[in-house]
Amino acid sequence: MEHEKVFAGKQILITGGLGFIGSNLAGALVGCGAWVTLVDSLIPQYGGNLFNIKEIKDLVHVNIADVRDEQSMKYLVQGQDYLFNLAGQTSHLDSMDDPYTDLDINCRAQLSILEACRKHNRRVKIVFASTRQVYGIPDSLPVDERHPVHPVDVNGINKLAGEWYHIVYNNVYALRTCALRLTNTYGPRMRVKDARQTFLGWWIRQLVEGRELQVFGDGQQMRDLNYVDDVVEALLMAAAHEEANGQIFNLGDDHPIRLLDLARLLIEINGGGRFKIVHFPPDRKAIDIGDYYGSFQKIAGLLGWRPKTRLREGLSRTLNYYREHRAHYWDNG
């Protein structure tokens, strides 16, 4: 299905729209001819950055609001054809240090958004960004959607609840919703200020600065990674296909990589650098999930999605982006 035919002239709302994935999605939707509204609180630690939309700032509407503000969301959902619900607290460590904020953003706010849609816009299609963290420590690999969920941190628990609120509202109230369980997403515009949201973003910053990468544990942990363009494609396909309604999909990649090998690959692409194996910090070790890589066969079979960007290519694009634009990401932007 050609996305332009689906989204041209449509009203689109993206929560977390000034963040990493939201801003890349906004660019794709503008390219399709959609009318895009971005909602973001611009809370510094959550990754919203006005520079992320520099190229499309005159083609989108920006509303600085918090998804926890029920009155704002009640107004903003009205008249929308599609809602990409990407706003969330994504730091696993932050969820353990401040569980109530994580609960407010990832649970209560999600419920209030759905209630606003139920009462004021039942025709909207909603795509919710969930996380592979809901699975916790895998029982077997690759992890598919039938795998038991046993989160190891507060973030995983709350994201699971937010995800299932969406599915219940699909099943009970006929709101068209679906959820994508994202794995490690990387690429231009991700937050690289520190390691709160993504270890890979922090590694990239350290490489650009000529600093040493720290690899926790023995570096043998397996991970799968998705380049942001491929994640955007999955979001668009989930919105465009009615077959996705009421479904939960894993994203993932056919080529998982050990963290030690990922560090070596980054250094090779960068043309230099160094890494060191270090002990896990106790707070991170307590919620580490060990090896993880997911099966994306369900979304491949039902919607036809599969990742297209090879890891070397995606990492090269990402490094080049931050070499050019580091001034806008090292601080608040």
Q: Per-residue confidence of the chain (333 residues) as pLDDT tens digits? A: 589 999 999 999 999 999 999 999 999 999 999 999 999 988 877 778 999 999 999 999 999 998 988 999 999 999 999 999 998 877 777 878 889 998 888 899 999 999 999 999 999 999 999 999 999 999 999 999 999 999 999 999 999 999 999 999 999 999 999 999 999 999 999 999 876 668 899 999 999 999 999 999 899 999 999 999 999 999 999 999 999 999 999 999 999 999 999 999 999 999 999 999 998 888 877 778 889 999 999 999 999 999 999 999 999 999 999 999 999 998 744
* In a domain? residue 195: no
- Could you give the CA distance from residue 207 to residue 322 in angstroms, rounded to a whole number? 10
CATH number for the domain harbouring residue 166: 3.40.50.720
- Could you give the CA distance from residue 274 to residue 181 in angstroms, rounded to a whole number? 32
* In a domain? residue 133: yes
Which residues does 328 contact at the CB level (< 8 Å), separation at least 6? Answer: 49, 51
* In a domain? residue 287: no
Total domains in the chain come to 1
Peptide bond into 142 cis (omega under 30): yes
How distant is the alpha carbon of residue 230 from its chain centre?
Answer: 11
Can you give the pLDDT at residue 196? 63
Can you give the pLDDT at residue 197? 63
Are 195 and 202 spatial neighbours (Cβ–Cβ below 8 Å)?
yes
* In a domain? residue 110: yes
Can you give the pLDDT at residue 194? 76
> In terms of residue numbers, what domain contains 61?
3-187+225-253+293-308
User: How many CB atoms neighbour CB 242 within 10 A?
Assistant: 8
Query: Position of tokens 């209560």?
Result: 108
* In a domain? residue 219: no
* In a domain? residue 48: yes
- Could you give the CA distance from residue 115 to residue 92 in angstroms, rounded to a whole number? 27
Which residues does 233 contact at the CB level (< 8 Å), separation at least 6? Answer: 305, 308
- Token digits of residue 166: 């969406």
* In a domain? residue 240: yes
**pTM, full prediction:** 0.96
* In a domain? residue 157: yes
